[in-house]
Chains A and B, each alone.
Chain A
Amino acid sequence: MDYFEVFISILGSAIRLSIPLLFTALAGLFSERAGIFDIGLEGKMLVSAFASACVAYYTGNAWAGLGAGIVTAILFSMLHGFASITNRGNQIVSGVALNFIAAGLTIVLGQAWFSQGGRTGQVPASGRFSSITLPGADMMREVPIIGPLYANVISGHNILTYIAFLMVPLSWWILYRTRFGLRLRAVGENPGAVDTAGISVSWLRYRALIVTGFLAGFAGTYLAIAQSAAFINNMSAGKGYIALAALIFAKWKPVPVMFACLLFGFLDAFANFMQGKSLPLIGEVPVQIFQALPYILTCVLLAGFIGIARPPKAGGVPYTKER
């Protein structure tokens, strides 16, 4: 196999692996820009994966699965909001609580309903998002360089992949070109000013969390019924945290978020490819290095060695009106 083909196949799998990160990181973008630290992304993704797998299994309809995933993730987001906005509880503690509840509840309910050790039943083909071949992909395949790139990297993904990339400019547009986005960014920097302007801080933050749940719902659905065909125990497997790392790595900006997710997805794909292989000159590189690299890179960034990552100023602080 020549190097170009290998490269193409790694790129294709990098895109597949980066999609759940991209949805989740964009989800975190909205809540964190509104001043709510979101450790609970992992849990939101996990419950939506479970809900979408269950509904897709029973209805055989992928879109119904997506709807269920989104609704469940939004409900979880609202619980986060109820604890951290209405009751001014600690945002991190409530996020940790969500992750625990999601990890436990999905297995307990899955076992009770499907009796397969926490797995859901196999979702029928009609209940899954299958890959789409873009027009002309087969004709283009023969064209050198551009052909394989188009056919294997750009074409051949499922619809959610394309939605994920559409969400990037959409998120940018919402955050930077709408009144809602302006207020959302303001509430993450200086909620007092937003309050003084006569805008409800709580309602704004709740709306940000609804968007977060909406996007996290896509992420979970992608895991359960696009990438695989059932819910599997703890299938988010820390992706929520990698997405959080990507969000920080991208300094809380939508377009850099996409590149950070693609980079982390590429590292993941490369690690899978490198398993048991050795590089010229260096020899066999342990896979663990690639697994740890996203986190190491994020720490290096946070240390201020690659520019400065400045989080939203009011992040992590519950807003108290009386003060």
Chain B
Amino acid sequence: MSTASVPLPGWINYGVIPLINLALAFFFSGIVVWAIGENPFEALQLLLVGALGRGEGIGFTLFYTTSFIFTGLSVAVAIHSGLFNIGSEGQAYLGGLGAALVALSLDAYVPWYVTMPFAVIGAALFGAACAAIPAWLQAKRGSHVVITTIMFNFIVSSLMNYVLVHMLIVPGKMAPESRTFLPGGQLPKLDWLIAMFGGKLGAAPLNFSFLIALIMCFLVWVLIWRTKLGYEMRTLGISPSAASYAGIGYSKIVMITMLISGGLAGMMALNPVMGASARLQIEFVGGAGFVGIAVSLMGRNHPAGIVLSALLFGILYQGGAELSFDMPAITRDMIVVIQGMVILFAGALEYMLRPAIVRAYQQFARSPAGGR
């Protein structure tokens, strides 16, 4: 009998299955750690202590979390319309240019809280601009958005390379990066947030964009589940033909979705560019756009889930960095393996265990203890 159409209660779909998938991902990552001759349990302990042990560690963890919330939301919004935006990486990269241009032009004249709204708009506009052409190609010319957004990741990478090396570079310096923003172009650190829990932020770059990320989570939730546009997006995502019968314009929704998705990805740049380094650096995105895919998948495309899974990846990033100090045999790239495993088990193999779980659930539901 087929088990694909058997409905499962929410706590299994959104609780048990992701947790089992996550456990599998960690199990196989543990095997890799064991294979190179280290103790996986010790590694896990070092990782957790490194990420959550001290105020500074937590600050770094939440800093990474911030970036992943933005890119996770970006991927999730697109998925709700049935689009796979694999270009969050490039959109965030171009968004960095938007934020940096605002910061560079305003930082000498106004305080940060005046610069910030313009920087948010600048980052979102540049991110959306980067998604606009793939969106148009999907909406009007029928070319697959996955392919075009990949292409745009590389196009943006070359473009930013040019902009940084030839235009924004500080004359006389070798490093391809913009000048350092004055305090008027920097987002303040959130040391009070950590201090509230009795910790010290130290050198950790946790900054105001964390709060922007949380606000965006709420706005995305409102958009997807509480507005007409969100309803139309979800309809298109579930059934394009039903959407067409209902008179929902395909091109319009695809364009709007991709622009929002690109805008959210672009805003990610606020965190590293204006919050941490206070300058535009080459390759500052560092794969966060791709992590967004894993974050969105793990979080089941829901803002609440995205916050949790972004936190998980934040812990992995920060803990992984600390781990590589303590266990030199394990490089930082171990977290890339774990990410890959999470994408594999939580994303690609998400249905692998479903038949078994459905059978177990039916067994449980039929037995007297299950209340039947």
Q: Tell me the count of chain B residues lying within 8 A, CB to CB, of chain A.
A: 49
**Which residues 202-243 of A sit at the B interface, judged by CB distance below 8 A?**
238, 241-242
Known: A93-B343, A96-B86, A304-B141. A292 touches B158 (CB 8 A): yes
Binds A, one of B48-56, B326-334, B357-365: B326-334
Q: Establish whether residues A100 and B337, one from each chain, have CB atoms under 8 Å apart when the complex forms.
A: yes
A interface, how many residues as a size bin?
35 or more
Contact string against A for B residues 113-150, beta-carbon threshold 8 Å, 1 for contact and 0 otherwise = 00000000000000000000100010001011011101
Residues of B within 8 A of A171 (CB): none
Residues of B within 8 A of A104 (CB): 333-340
Q: Which residue from B151, B155, B341 sits with its C-beta under 8 Å from A101?
A: B341
Known: A87-B352, A292-B154. A112 touches B347 (CB 8 A): no
- B37 proximal to A (CB < 8 A): yes
Q: Establish whether residues B347 and A244, one from each chain, have CB atoms under 8 Å apart when the complex forms.
A: no
Residues of A within 8 A of B337 (CB): 100-101, 104-105, 108
Q: Establish whether residues A295 and B143, one from each chain, have CB atoms under 8 Å apart when the complex forms.
A: no
For the complex, what is the distance from the CA of A36 to the CA of B235, rounded to whole Å?
Answer: 26
Known: A108-B36, A298-B151, A299-B148. A288 touches B297 (CB 8 A): no
For the complex, what is the distance from the CA of A299 to the CA of B146, rounded to whole Å?
Answer: 12
How far is the CB of B344 from the nearest CB of chain A, in Å? 4
For the complex, what is the distance from the CA of A87 to the CA of B21, rounded to whole Å?
Answer: 14
- B32 proximal to A (CB < 8 A): yes
For the complex, what is the distance from the CA of A84 to the CA of B343, rounded to whole Å?
Answer: 13
Q: Beyond the given A245-B151, A288-B158, A304-B143, could you list 19 further A-B residue pairs with CB under 8 A, ordered by the A residue number?
A: A89-B348, A93-B343, A93-B347, A94-B347, A101-B344, A104-B339, A108-B330, A112-B36, A118-B333, A286-B166, A289-B162, A292-B154, A292-B158, A295-B155, A298-B147, A299-B151, A302-B143, A302-B144, A311-B144
A-B contact pairs, 13 of them (CB 8 A): A82-B349, A84-B348, A92-B146, A94-B344, A97-B348, A100-B339, A108-B331, A108-B333, A288-B162, A289-B158, A298-B151, A299-B148, A302-B141
Binding site for B on A (CB under 8 A): 37, 39, 79, 82-84, 87-90, 92-94, 96-105, 107-109, 111-112, 118, 238, 241-242, 244-245, 248, 286, 288-289, 291-292, 295-296, 298-299, 302-304, 309, 311, 316, 320, 322
Binding site for A on B (CB under 8 A): 2, 4, 32, 36-37, 84, 86, 133, 137, 141, 143-144, 146-148, 150-152, 154-155, 158-159, 161-162, 166, 290, 293-294, 297, 329-331, 333-341, 343-344, 347-352
